[in-house]
């Protein structure tokens, strides 16, 4: 999709003008990524302004109005079996999902990058031990790892976020370590070192910023994964506890209503679907843009 | 323009013509703009003869070759105008299904990079046998036998054993022979297109492959369109030559006339930069043509060689020259041929 | 290549050891008292103390750990608190159900995924391509248990096409020899000529398999598409076309075979992940497999059961990944034919 030169009847790529201009150009071209960004923005807005936007409190139960279908007067998306307004619950759910994303990915990125940078830079026995631990973590299927960690911490939404964050650490660690190992050999590092730069400043100020490309892609996709994982943990009773309006929990508690109240099942799932879709779209688009640099 | 082109083609029609290209123009629609890869190209190849299409990388010769059997990637590629007459039919008007009956049957093609041009997960014998199976009604065993025969024909030693080898187990020269064998599996060979067949090979092997191709061609009686940038190869194998530059034909003629009297400044430049050229005896440096190929995106209507041409005048920037007949089988397209001739 | 395999095998034991250790310590450190869970709220302190001694819970942690390792070496994963039966036995009984579902789901996902991926690649940037890829994106963005519920709502409740759960119509009694219902029902056909068992087994299998297989399908389709696009760019594809080989054969024989390597790797990995995802899907469809069993064990705070179940699934996961690695090095023609 780049500029081309014709050779042997094939089209081969040729160097582009400025990388930044190119990226911007690509971003505008990549309609999927833009769509993803729009969805994310919408989701964030709803989450941040939920108290202002939602018609009612997500916890208010009006027994007289329970299990009302969508488009009932006053309840756009209907109510659940305890008479709580679906729309309000979904909006606060967006808020919660937002927090889940930030906390989980924050933990994973923070510790993951720390481990990756130090491991890659320092090397030696430290590196070997750390990587061995990371490998063991990766030997687990992801869901089981989160379950095990939550089992230790005790079932709650916050602990679920921590568990998800911890489970995602290995990816960032590996990614950053690989980048650091590649960058370590570069001339600018040797140059700065010869000028007397301290290892800390080298690690964090010089090398780390160069690793941001793959990390940002992983982080974007990671938010989507965190939301899905939290939903799974809630389903297993290990995450959010009732009456929290977390989307996964809402789906989990809706099982008995598949025959008579389809909206209680469908809407939280749709909300999850679109939120995660937004992050996946944008993450994919980001990856396409940063692709040449992502070739590890 | 029309009348002079017609004169040339009529001349060549007196012998039986295998393939005739008329006014071919090919564009590539890229994100940065439209690249005019080939502009108003016409030539023909008589039966049983070899025509060499010469020029540097990017001049459009490969694009031309790929246009003949419609192997150009068509989304970016676009055949703007032209006709390609082969056995009484215009190939450019044919559908993909119809072309499939022609490719490998009447027109075959071999490519430059034998390493990447052969499928790594099948043995060479299998690949050749598959071509047989596609075009003839044979059993698998028969197809395999024919494949081995062909490998023998292209002078690969112990063909029966070699047929079971995978491409990466063969040397470059042998792979190219295998590709030629694949091209020969066609039941009704009329034209073989060879796109820089020897460029990726060692010099010593080059000669062998060329010999092989010429002898096969004569034996089978097919026409050969040879794409190359190497004038040495042209001298050895071609009957006729077409010199291309930046998508246009700039000189054309039979090989003897062309080498005796290269007339277009670009052709001269090509000849002059041949290491085997007499004038280099004792010299320490090769003469290169100064300047670079123009950007095909922004090319105008004038002569594309202008910015590198010693003899360029004002008219060269405004319009592309008409054909100048130098002799019966030799033409050039240049405004200042007399100036060029004088300074030689 | 042999060296590589040996190296990977060598890593197997330490990895498994690490997995077991992690699980052990995690469960051991989790809050809650197994003894109390077993005996209930009204147990006296004495009773609790005695049970703890019996279960070895009063010994120092590292001793517990080593005795646990010892028992694992003898394939003893302890006894389930809820049923009192050995964990290993319960898992063995439930394993075929989970495997059958996982296998069927992977079959659907692989076949459909590859076909969709190939079609998308050959019709790049057309409507078919966009729809497929958007569909794939949707597939990986939804919670699998929600998908299961929605499928049940549509196909079982609204249209009465499929049953809502279980492996077979409860009114049928079928002799279970292998506990793989498809096999057993085929045996039943030979023995009694009765096709009902097979029909019922299939009907019960479809919805959960589709739900479970959706995410792998999406991922396989995407991988196939990108791998095919890479291959279709290659020169040897052009050679095949120039030789007049029909396009269908070029795509499915010449191109696909070259594209298969990453696809097979992905299939292997997805299969491993599928087994762990079984926990969610089996529960929704009341499928009596290991997943559902683990789910109930979690709710019941049945530590040995959860511990055992997680260890078994993780071990299978590690083994599958090992197999995928080995398979990759074997199938890669550049490595194989040296």
User: Which tens digits make up the pLDDT trace of A222-252?
Assistant: 999 999 999 999 988 888 888 889 999 999 8
pLDDT tens-place string over residues B133-162: 888 888 888 888 888 888 888 888 888 888
Q: What is the pLDDT of residue B275?
A: 63
Q: What is the largest CA-CA distance in chain B?
A: 67
Report the mean per-residue pLDDT for chain B. 81
Mean pLDDT value across residues C242-268: 87
Of A139, A142, A280, the CB nearest to C140: A280
- Give Cα separations from C320 to A141, C135, C202 (angstroms): 11, 28, 26
The predicted-structure confidence for B56-68, as pLDDT tens digits, reads as follows 877 888 888 888 8
**Cis preceding linkage at A243, omega within 30:** yes
Q: What is the ipTM of this complex?
A: 0.83
pLDDT above 70 covers a percentage of chain B that reads 89
The parts of chain A modelled with pLDDT lower than 50 are 1-9, 11-16, 293-296
- From the CA of A4, how many Å to the nearest CA of chain C? 15
Q: How far apart are the first and last CA of chain B?
A: 28
What is the average pLDDT score of chain C? 82
Q: What is the DSSP letter of C251?
A: I
Shortest CA gap C156–chain A (Å) = 10
Min CA distance, B31 vs chain A (Å)?
6
Residue contact C137–A149, C-beta within 8 A: no
Q: What is the mean pLDDT of residues C147-152?
A: 89
- What pLDDT sits at residue C32? 66
Residue B337 clears pLDDT 70, i.e. is over it:
yes
- How far apart (Å, rounded) are the C-alpha atoms in residues A59 and A78? 14
Helix (H, G, I), strand (E, B) or coil at A142: helix
Neighbors of chain C with 3 or more C-beta pairs under 8 Å? A, B
Indicate whether C164 pLDDT > 90. Answer: no
Q: Enumerate the β-bridge partners of residue C116.
A: none
Per-residue pLDDT tens for C92-132?
888 888 888 999 999 999 999 999 999 998 888 788 888 89
- In whole angstroms, give the CA distance from residue C190 to residue C210: 28
Is residue B249 within 8 A of residue B43, CB to CB? The reply is: yes
8 A C-beta contact, residue B155 and residue B212? yes
Residues making up chain A, counted from first to last: 296
pLDDT score of A26: 60
- Across the interface, whether the CB atoms of C149 and A255 are under 8 A apart is answered yes
What is the reported pLDDT for B310? 78
Kindly report the nearest CA distance between residue A32 and chain C, in angstroms: 10
> For position C31, what pLDDT does the model report?
67
pLDDT at B23 over 80: yes
Q: How far is CA A45 from the centre of its chain?
A: 17
Contact B168 C238 (CB under 8 A): no
A114 class by beta-carbon count within 10 Å (0-12 exposed, 13-18 middle, 19+ buried): middle
Q: Which pair of tokens denotes residue A276?
A: 């995660």
On chain C, the residues whose CB falls within 8 A of the CB of A137 are 22
Residues of A in contact with C272 (CB under 8 A): 141
Structure tokens at B131: 């071509």
What phi and psi, each to the nearest 5 degrees, are found at residue B244? -115, 150
Q: Which of C255, C254, C260 is nearest to B131 (CA)?
A: C254
Alpha-carbon Rg of chain B, whole angstroms? 21
Which of A69-73, B238-242, C268-272 comes out lowest in average pLDDT? A69-73
Residues of A with CB below 8 A from B66's CB?
9
Residues of C in contact with A135 (CB under 8 A): 15, 18
| Chain A residues within an 8 Å CB radius of C314 | 139-141, 144
- Ranges A197-201, B248-252, C153-157: which has the least confidence: A197-201
Residue B308 has φ and ψ, to the nearest 5°, of -115, 5
């Amino acid at each position: 999709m780049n500029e081309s030169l014709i050779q042997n009847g094939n089209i081969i790529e040729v160097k582009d003008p400025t990388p930044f201009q190119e990226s911007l150009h690509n971003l505008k071209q990549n309609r999927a990524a833009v769509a993803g960004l729009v969805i994310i923005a919408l989701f964030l807005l709803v989450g941040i302004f939920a108290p202002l936007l939602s018609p009612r409190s997500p916890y208010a139960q009006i027994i007289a109005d329970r299990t009302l279908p969508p488009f009932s007067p006053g309840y756009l998306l209907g109510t659940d079996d305890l008479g709580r307004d679906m729309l309000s619950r979904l909006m606060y759910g967006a808020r919660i999902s937002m927090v889940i994303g930030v906390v989980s990915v924050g933990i994973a990125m923070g510790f993951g990058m720390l481990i990756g940078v130090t491991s890659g830079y320092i090397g030696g026995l430290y590196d070997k031990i750390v990587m061995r631990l990371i490998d063991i973590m990766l030997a687990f299927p992801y869901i089981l790892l989160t379950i095990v960690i939550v089992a230790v911490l005790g079932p709650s939404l916050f602990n679920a976020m921590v568990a998800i964050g911890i489970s995602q650490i290995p990816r960032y660690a590996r990614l950053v370590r690989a980048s650091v190992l590649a960058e370590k050999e570069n001339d600018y590092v040797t140059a700065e070192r010869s000028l007397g730069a301290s290892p800390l400043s080298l690690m964090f100020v010089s090398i780390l910023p160069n690793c941001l490309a793959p990390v940002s892609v992983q982080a974007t996709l990671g938010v989507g994964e965190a939301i899905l994982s939290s939903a799974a943990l809630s389903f297993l009773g290990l995450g959010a506890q009732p009456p929290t309006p977390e989307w996964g929990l809402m789906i989990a508690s809706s099982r008995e209503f598949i025959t008579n109240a389809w909206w209680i099942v469908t809407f939280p799932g749709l909300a999850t679907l679109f939120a995660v879709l937004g992050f996946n779209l944008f993450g994919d688009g980001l990856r396409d843009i940063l692709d040449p640099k992502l070739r590890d | 323009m029309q009348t002079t082109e017609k004169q040339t083609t009529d001349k060549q029609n007196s012998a039986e013509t295998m393939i005739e290209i008329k006014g071919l123009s090919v564009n590539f629609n890229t994100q940065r703009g439209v690249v005019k890869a080939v502009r108003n190209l016409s030539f023909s190849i008589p039966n049983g003869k070899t025509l060499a299409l010469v020029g540097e990388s990017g001049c459009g010769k490969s694009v031309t070759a790929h246009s003949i059997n419609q192997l150009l990637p068509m989304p970016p590629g676009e055949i703007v105008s032209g006709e390609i007459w082969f056995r009484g039919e215009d190939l450019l008007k044919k559908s993909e299904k119809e072309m499939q009956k022609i490719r490998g049957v009447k027109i075959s093609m071999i490519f430059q990079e034998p390493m990447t041009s052969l499928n790594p997960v099948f043995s060479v014998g299998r690949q050749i046998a598959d071509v047989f199976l596609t075009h003839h009604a044979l059993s698998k065993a028969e197809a395999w036998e024919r494949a081995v025969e062909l490998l023998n024909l292209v002078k690969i030693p112990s063909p029966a054993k070699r047929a079971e080898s995978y491409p990466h187990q063969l040397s470059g020269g042998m792979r190219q022979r295998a590709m030629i064998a694949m091209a020969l599996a066609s039941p009704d060979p009329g034209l073989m297109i060879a796109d820089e067949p020897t460029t990726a090979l060692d010099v010593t092997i080059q000669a062998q492959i060329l010999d092989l191709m010429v002898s096969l061609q004569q034996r089978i009686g097919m026409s050969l369109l040879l794409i190359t940038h190497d004038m040495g190869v042209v001298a050895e194998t071609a009957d006729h030559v077409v010199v291309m530059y930046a998508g246009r034909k700039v000189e054309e003629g039979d090989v003897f006339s062309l080498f005796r009297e290269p007339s277009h400044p670009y052709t001269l430049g090509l000849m002059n930069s041949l290491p085997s050229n007499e004038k280099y005896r004792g010299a320490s440096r090769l003469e290169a043509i100064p300047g670079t190929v123009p950007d095909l995106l922004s090319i105008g209507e004038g002569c594309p060689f202008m910015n590198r041409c010693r003899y360029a005048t004002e008219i060269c920037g405004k319009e592309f020259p008409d054909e100048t007949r130098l002799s019966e089988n030799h033409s050039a397209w240049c405004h200042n041929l007399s100036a060029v001739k004088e300074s030689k | 290549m042999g060296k590589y395999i040996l190296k990977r095998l060598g890593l197997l034991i330490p990895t498994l050891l690490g997995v077991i250790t992690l699980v052990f310590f995690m469960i051991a450190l989790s809050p809650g008292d197994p003894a109390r869970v077993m005996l209930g709220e009204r147990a006296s302190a004495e009773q609790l103390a005695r049970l703890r001694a019996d279960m070895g819970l009063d010994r120092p942690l590292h001793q517990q750990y080593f005795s646990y390792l010892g028992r694992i070496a003898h394939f003893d994963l302890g006894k389930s608190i809820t049923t009192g039966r050995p964990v290993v036995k319960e898992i063995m009984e439930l394993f075929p159900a989970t495997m059958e579902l996982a296998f069927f789901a992977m079959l659907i996902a692989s076949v459909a995924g590859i076909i969709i991926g190939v079609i998308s690649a050959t019709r790049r940037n057309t409507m078919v391509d966009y729809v497929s890829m958007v569909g794939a994106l949707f597939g990986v963005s939804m919670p699998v248990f929600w998908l299961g519920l929605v499928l049940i709502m549509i196909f079982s409740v609204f249209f009465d096409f499929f049953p809502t759960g279980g492996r077979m119509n409860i009114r049928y009694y079928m002799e279970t020899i292998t506990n793989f219902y498809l096999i057993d029902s085929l045996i039943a056909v030979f023995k009694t000529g009765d096709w009902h068992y097979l029909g019922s087994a299939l009907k019960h299998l479809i919805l959960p398999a589709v739900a479970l297989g959706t995410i792998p399908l999406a991922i396989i389709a995407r991988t196939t598409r990108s791998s095919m696009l890479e291959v279709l760019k290659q020169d040897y594809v052009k050679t095949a076309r120039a030789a007049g080989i029909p396009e269908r054969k070029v795509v499915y024989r010449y191109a696909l075979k070259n594209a298969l390597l990453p696809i097979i790797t992905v299939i292997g990995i997805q299969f491993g992940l599928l087994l762990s995802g079984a926990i969610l899907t089996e529960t929704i469809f009341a499928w009596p497999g290991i997943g559902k069993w683990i789910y109930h064990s979690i709710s019941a705070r049945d530590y040995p059961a959860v511990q055992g179940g997680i260890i078994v699934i993780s071990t299978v996961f590690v083994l599958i990944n090992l197999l995928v690695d080995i398979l990759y090095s074997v199938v890669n023609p550049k490595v194989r034919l040296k």
